[in-house]
Amino acid sequence: MPAFRFEAIDQAGKTQKGVLDADSARSARGHLRTQGLTPLVVEPAGSRTRGERQHRLSLGRRLSQREQAILTRQLASLLIAGLPLGETLAVLTEQSERDYIRELMAAIRAEVLGGHSFANALEQHPRDFPEIYRALVAAGEHTGKLGLVLSRLADYIEQRNALKQKIVLAFTYPAVVTVIAFGIVTFLLSYVVPQVVNVFASTKQSLPFLTIMMMALSGFVRSYWWAVLIGVVLVSWIVKRILARPGPRTAFDRWLLTAPLVGKLVRGYNTVRFASTLAILTAAGVPILRALQAAGETLSNKAMRANVDDAIVRVREGTSLSRALGNTKTFPPVLVHLIRSGEATGDVTTMLDRASEGEARELERRTMFLTSLLEPLLILAMGGIVLVIVLAVMLPIIELNNLVQ
């Protein structure tokens, strides 16, 4: 039975929105009237008016990472409990608090009840369910283990979100310190320095070189701040356009893997995503070549993705997975050794899970080390800049005091 999204007015004049099941739009209107509601809009759950389609592009008209994890966990729990897929989607439709999620679940349920597979229904909403998500659902449907696959997928999404949150929180303090320091320095150069130094400039006193240089810098900031802002925006746009091309982006990502400190973070983060995704796919029974291709698509580093493509070619030619990944010289040796052990014991999935957990812990340790190193460096840099500004202001006062004595 198809689902319809409705907007109606009750007897008190209040607008009510929701989703209901009916054979047709006319039947849905009749059902609303029996409840004492006056229907305003009744349409299939997947469709929207022009204003709503425009509003969909605005903030909030898609699933957040947290909502995606909760939704996947609920789907897995209900399916493992033995509830049919159609009823599971109906339950999620009824209990969803946000209108967008309610409409999304109703649209997916209508597709499923119409004879489409769950993966094909999700394919109609690529913004909310990426390709790797749909591939795992398709594998779960093919093997008859959709509930277990969704449970592992929920674990993966939750772990990925937790890791990303830890990294973001670790770099939040250095970012805040940098912004505050930039604001303080800009304020000193544009307001404090001219107010103090101009007093000595009006006396025709010979000023120290540091003070003259600081006055020139202050004048530049006050007069041409807009040019600096335009220059930063223009350079950022040019760099973004250059990195949008495959060649320069691959070269940049290849350099990024060898960059001090940052390179290990980039390599570790991508390794965790690759190992976790590959573990879920192999556990779901996806063929190794398709699993490698899907796991490689989750990598944000183009150089590592190209190396995975080379490994796929080697595996297709008969090389073992551990040797193919080891020849790329990109992934950590621990991952390669664990995969080799899994191949020897016939349990690659467990070894991939262990590799993912180990790399995640190592990534957290490196992130904390880097942020603990950045914090004092930023404070020292800020103190040094402020010291130079203070010296530029104090040197004329010291010289004037010497002349008076």
User: Across the 405 residues of the chain, what is the mean pLDDT of every consecutive 10-residue run?
Assistant: 70 72 74 78 58 42 82 89 86 81 82 82 85 81 82 85 83 84 83 73 71 81 84 92 88 88 87 88 82 84 90 90 87 90 88 88 86 84 85 77 61
pTM of the predicted protein model: 0.70
Q: Which long-range contacts (CB under 8 A, 24 or more apart) does 69-72 make?
A: 69/154, 69/157, 69/158, 69/161, 71/101, 72/150, 72/153, 72/154, 72/157
pLDDT value at residue 283: 81
d(CA 106, CA 5): 8
Report the distance separating Cα 74 and Cα 66, nearest Å.
12
Classify 39 as helix, strand or coil: strand
Burial of 149 (0-12, 13-18, 19+ CB in 10 A): buried
Identify whether the C-beta of residue 115 lies closer than 8 Å to the C-beta of residue 123.
no
Contact in structure between 146 and 79 (CB atoms under 8 Å)? yes
Q: What per-residue confidence (pLDDT) applies to 337?
A: 92
Report which of 171, 178, 166, 169 is spatially closest to residue 371, judged by C-alpha positions: 171
pLDDT of residue 190: 81
62 Cβ contact partners less than 8 Å away, ≥ 6 residues apart: 56, 100, 127, 128
Cα gap 292→315, rounded to integer Å: 10
Helices 246-258 and 302-316 pack at an angle, to 10 degrees, of 100
Q: How far apart are CA 301 and CA 249, in angstroms?
A: 9
What own/partner pairs with CB < 8 Å and gap ≥ 24 does 247-255 have? 249/302, 250/302, 250/303, 250/306, 253/301, 253/302, 253/303, 253/304, 254/303
Q: Record the tokens describing residue 393, joined without a space.
A: 């202001």
What is the per-residue pLDDT for 59?
A: 43
Strands 38-44 and 15-21: unpaired
> Quick one: how far is CA 214 from the chain centroid?
41
Residue 204: per-residue pLDDT: 64
Predicted local distance difference test score (pLDDT) of residue 49: 41
Residue 237 is predicted with a pLDDT of: 93
Tell me which DSSP letter residue 23 carries: S
